[in-house]
Amino acid sequence: MSTAERPLAPATRLAHVGRRWPPAANRPVAPPLYQSVAYQFAGLDQLEAIYAGEQPGYFYYRYGGPNHTILEQTVAELEGAEAAVATSSGLAALAATLLALLRPGDHLLVARHSYGGTYSLLTAELARLGFGVEFVDLAAPGALAAAARPTTRALLLETLTNPLLQVTDLPQLAAAAHARGWLVICDSTFTTPCLIQPLAHGCDLVWHASSKYFGGQSQVLGGIVAGPRALIERVRETVIHLGVAASAFDAWLAAQGLATLALRMERACQNAMAVAAFLAAQPEVARVHYPGLPSHPQHALARQLYPHGYGAMVSFELRGGAPAARALLDHLRLIPFVPSLGDVATTVSYPLRTSHRHVPAAERAAMGISEGLVRLSVGIEAAEDILADLAAGLAAARAAG
């Protein structure tokens, strides 16, 4: 009697429980979570056909699954890109991109006012592997030309710098880099595709920490990079080799979060503008960094690049320095102290001890990160409640200062 004809033992039936697809002529409204880390094949012919791209299908976790595909296709469409690949974190996306497209001995130029995690990755890991890394103040006249070397291969930018919210002139810098044959890679985590598409402004690749605004609930860990298919497939191969693909659950959560991204960004940008204007009028605040304010030195450029909003990040410097910053953090009640950003709720961070903690003091000073610098990720709450909590924190900062 064959296996198909005779009854199976309970242990066998239990081993295969839940692995039958229920028949249905329609499909679910919400994409399901495909948690399986491996896929089966009808035989070698099917495996080879899927591997060659002649049939749709999946292999193994590191290669991505249906939830990765949904997220990647959505982000690629939003960014105006041919393709995208999802990774386990934002820095994993950057690391895989650089390892895929650069070689030891290549020189990489990086905007000086960059995220501290980017600084640590480049100086602690990429430099150790033989990559030349140089940080440049791109706002300085002639800085790009002065820093260029025969071995320079790429320029790494941020749309709005973290944490001082400098506006990067993507069209100008991308044109200058391409004239020298360099790749231009841009971090757009602060701005999302709802506010700007860096590829349309000349960048070759754009990457995000999808842990931030894509998920929007501080539940996702992931990253993604989008661009021309030929470049993305090289990055994807490196992602597979390194084993830094996003988890299916994180990819699923990020894709669900994208459904409300436009609405969240619109509201958060409105709130950020109100917060920035409020802070600019407070005597405890020495300076507000927000490109939506006319006082911002690059406001005119921001108006050109960001017609749909100036972002939800606001940084400000307290006159009382570190004591004032500590007092403010201790006396905020609605706004939690969180070393991240992009949540639906407003959060506050202290770059000196969080995002830029591992950046050497001299380099932090060159970046302009002072002891009184505080960074807000403005959420979607009622603006008056955010302002009331900030007013209480500033009162404490005034007393401490």
Helix (H, G, I), strand (E, B) or coil at 48: helix
The closest alpha carbon to 318, from 327, 310, 307, belongs to 327
* Catalytic residue IDs: 62, 115, 187, 212
Own/partner pairs for 257-261, CB < 8 Å, 24+ apart?
Answer: 257/213, 257/214, 257/215, 257/216, 257/217, 257/220, 258/71, 258/74, 258/75, 258/78, 258/214, 260/216, 261/192, 261/194, 261/213, 261/214, 261/216
The closest alpha carbon to 214, from 75, 81, 313, belongs to 75
Q: How far apart are CA 10 and CA 39, in angstroms?
A: 24
DSSP 286-317: EEEE-TTSTTSTTHHHHHHH-TT---SEEEEE
Q: Are 401 and 319 in contact (CB under 8 A)?
A: yes
Q: Are 214 and 264 in contact (CB under 8 A)?
A: no
Q: How far apart are CA 102 and CA 108, in angstroms?
A: 9
The CA-based angle 260-289-370, given to 5 degrees, is: 120
- Which of 49-83 are b and which e, b meaning 16 or more Cβ less than 10 Å from the residue's Cβ? ebeeeeeeebeebeebbbbbbbbbebbbebbebeb
Please list the residues that pair with 38 across neighbouring strands. 60
DSSP state of 166: P
* Cis, bond preceding 163 (omega within 30 deg of 0): yes
DSSP state of 8: P
Please list the residues that pair with 207 across neighbouring strands. 187, 225
Q: Where are the alpha helices (DSSP H) in 80-152?
A: 90-101, 116-120, 143-147
Give kind and range of the element (H or E) at residue 57.
none
